[in-house]
Structure 1
Amino acid sequence: MTTRNLFNEILAVKSAQRTEKQQRIVEAAIRLFAEKGYSNTSTAEIAKAADVSEASIFKQYGTKDKLLLSLVVPYIKEMFPFEADETMNQVFSSAYSDFEAFLRALLKNRIAFITENRDIFLVLIKEIIYKEELKNELFPYIAEVAATRLTKIVELFQERDELADMPTRSILKLLFTVIGGFVASRFVLLNRESIDDEEVEDVVRMVLDGIRKLPAKNS
């Protein structure tokens, strides 16, 4: 399984709406974030690399967090569907024997991606928590894109008689709540650098206990 640095992908997404100065700031910021990490990059370093004054960055974006969000939010809107498709292709490239194996592979794939892009993830989650406008803008979009792809998979395993006979949307809500809460709590609240396999297994069991089809009771 390969991980990808999101900063390098964002660099490839150009915006025709940016001025020349803004584009220089964006390109310098992404390169420095990718090389040194978001936390280790100062606005002064970005200004020097972009050949602008630090005051220009503050005027254009306000803070470093807002600069990062100005890069990440457009990327999510433009590229998230392709990212979601690629993830599903990676995770579902093998014919998994059961839903448990699929869920485990999906969790490990997303954890690896978030670990590689932890700086971005931390800022994004913290901003979403405190900014209702950003939450309303991104959450429904991300949920809809993810739900569209996962619905087919859930229905497939329901047809195989592995998952409970309950509405697909209810299963998706449980998946999003448990997995999203688990990942956010570990990386944001507990400030963890990574998540180990034992914890992944705990989440897999927790999810399956809620949605796996139970054997019929003998009368």
Structure 2
Amino acid sequence: MSNQFSIEELLKLTDEDVKMSEKQKKVVEAAIEIFADKGFAAASTSEIAKKAGVAEGTIFRHYQTKKDLLFAIVMPTITKSIAPFLVRNFLQDVTKQNHQDLEHMLRYILENRYEFIKKNHPVIKILLQEVFFHEEFRGELRKVVEEHAVEKLKKLIIHFQEKGEMIDMPPETVLRMIITTIMGFLIGRFIILPDLDWDDEAEKEYTIQFLLHGLMKK
């Protein structure tokens, strides 16, 4: 488990009146670590209980099934935070920033999401592992992205296109290219190949330069 991640951060993503006992927190922390390491299907409630230092019955007092425990971890993260690249507060920050140019906006987005995923990558790893197997997760992701993300970011893209700083392509296409490029770096860095000898600052700079200039040598 990342020493930066804490269950307190996860609780901030849920409704304010949600309270957990210390045992329940230990169960969720253990489940996050085991789900992230082994995947949902390979994890067992007995293993989670052992790691949490509680009886297996403690898990079932709070969560009727292993899937209920998974949903308790992932659903708040989807609905209140990830979505999976865009978040409500993040969008507010991006749109309120006085971006003097396209490069400033791209650097802000990349740095902001780098810090977020660095801090929360255990839960994000679980989401990425399980989203393909649970329609409930996919539905929530689609809902949050469509309701809170697409139109706001399209307006930013159109703004920079009108200033002559961005290529004349459909805003949806440009948005997809930005998201997939930045998330490709971040998922590789923190989820798929975290043990490589990464030069983070160099890789961030390469990502920005690719977005600004593409692959063609000028």
Shift of 1:100: 1.0
Match of 2:65 among 54, 61, 68: 61
Match of 2:49 among 35, 43, 48: 43
Q: How does 1:158-197 map to 2 (within 5 A)?
A: 158-192=161-195, 196-197=200-201
Secondary structure at 2:64 match in 1? helix
Q: Distance in 2 between matches of 1:78 and 1:171?
A: 25
Shift of 1:148: 2.8
Note if contact 1:25-1:46 (Cα within 8 Å) is conserved in structure 2: no
**Aligned match of 1:202:** 206
Secondary structure at 2:109 match in 1? helix
Note if contact 2:81-2:88 (Cα within 8 Å) is conserved in structure 1: no
**Aligned match of 1:141:** 143
Shift of 1:115: 0.5
Note if contact 1:99-1:162 (Cα within 8 Å) is conserved in structure 2: yes
Q: How does 1:120-135 map to 2 (within 5 A)?
A: 120-129=123-132, 131=133, 133-134=135-136
Note if contact 2:10-2:77 (Cα within 8 Å) is conserved in structure 1: yes
Deviates more, 1:173-182 or 1:156-165: 173-182
**Aligned match of 2:40:** none
Match of 2:155 among 152, 157, 174: 152
TM-score for the superposition, normalised by structure 2: 0.68
Match of 1:70 among 66, 69, 72: 72
Note if contact 1:104-1:204 (Cα within 8 Å) is conserved in structure 2: yes
**Aligned match of 1:102:** 105
TM-score for the superposition, normalised by structure 1: 0.68
Note if contact 1:25-1:47 (Cα within 8 Å) is conserved in structure 2: no
Structure 1 pair 6–169 and aligned structure 2 pair: CA distance change class (3 A): farther
Q: Distance in 2 between matches of 1:79 and 1:186?
A: 20
* Structure 1 vs Structure 2 CA RMSD: 3.7
**Aligned match of 2:8:** 8
**Which structure carries more relative contact order (alpha carbon 8 Å, separation 6+)?**
2
Shift of 1:99: 0.7
Q: Which runs of 5+ in 1 are unaligned?
A: 211-219
Q: Deviations over 1:159-206 (max 9, x none)?
A: 211011221111111122222222222222212497711111111122
Q: Which runs of 5+ in 2 are unaligned?
A: 35-46
Q: Deviations over 1:40-63 (max 9, x none)?
A: 894335463xxxx31352672327
Shift of 1:102: 1.0
